[in-house]
Structure 1
Amino acid sequence: MLVGRIVLLNWSKLKSDILYRIGETAAMHDKENTVPDHTAVRVALWRALHVQIDSPPHLLEDEIGLRMAAPEDEWRQRPDMDPESTSGFRASIVARARFIEDLVTEQLGQGVTQYVILGAGLDTFAQRRPEIASQMRIFEVDQPDTQNWKRRTYRWSFAAKRRGIPDSYYIEKTAYNSI
């Protein structure tokens, strides 16, 4: 089932299939990036801004991406964080994420046990919903630079095992034009 950029699949060899398709393209791009993609950061900050300035009830409680991105202190003064001019974008981002998370939870009840997030950016589903993530294999797929940064940052800043993140959580990287 394809919903937006999120794919829910139920196959047993997903990781090996992804790694086969990625092949040497990902290895060529396996460099240490010091910053994630700007769009990924912007979406994470909008999700945090939703919690910080929009009236409750919040569709999504997500400030983990904000901690991961660790923006400068004045991040809310950035033009792309203006509360009024970005309200529509913010609403779209959090509504889509909530819809997908509800769908994933529903599909888990139907026997779907693998969740692939294409263009994952700084998605935090597995970190925020370990009770669901522990019952699924979750694959986050994105550009190599963003995923390298996320893998490195996540390991050091969140200590996955202590946060209840299961062994079935994978951060994969690919150059989309190679798929």
Structure 2
Amino acid sequence: MGMSVTISAATDVDAEQILKLQYLCYQSEAALYGDYGIEPLTQTLDDLCAELARGCVLVARLGEEVVGSVRGSVEEDGTAVIGKLIVHPRMQRHGLGRRLLSAIEARLAQERSAKRYRLSVGHRSEGTIRLHRSLGYTPVATEPVSPRLSMVTLEKYPAPLGREAVRQEYAASA
């Protein structure tokens, strides 16, 4: 895939492409649970635009095309809630989801002082859960939503500055 995919903040102009990609990406999720009424498939363009205005939304672009996206917002207690990590089916398995997740974590830490990250995944979405675990997320709760679907909540704390980095900082300022 190379370095041709760029990640940046989404703008209103991207809203329609994000929504189309969201509809495409969540079809498999809906099929997995036999529920086509899930929020990602019923979200309206107006609602997405409102989300763009208040939250932190990133897009991955390949030329003019939006091929991935992720969203996050930080609650008053410093918990960053990350959601709607989507990657175009033909771009999957190339590390783009990982790049998007790392990018939103960094942005939420820098711009909004996130103290921990939280996200929820359907219990059957094993690939997604595996991805999050490999990036340091730990399952903390499972909650039934319907007879067919339980949501697994995973959390991660930002890595503290390592001792080595702190030592180097002191050495530099001494």
The TM-score, its normalising length taken from structure 2, stands at 0.31
Greater share of helix:
1
Which is bigger in relative contact order (C-alpha 8 A, separation at least 6)? 1
Greater share of strand:
2
- Whose Rg is larger? 2
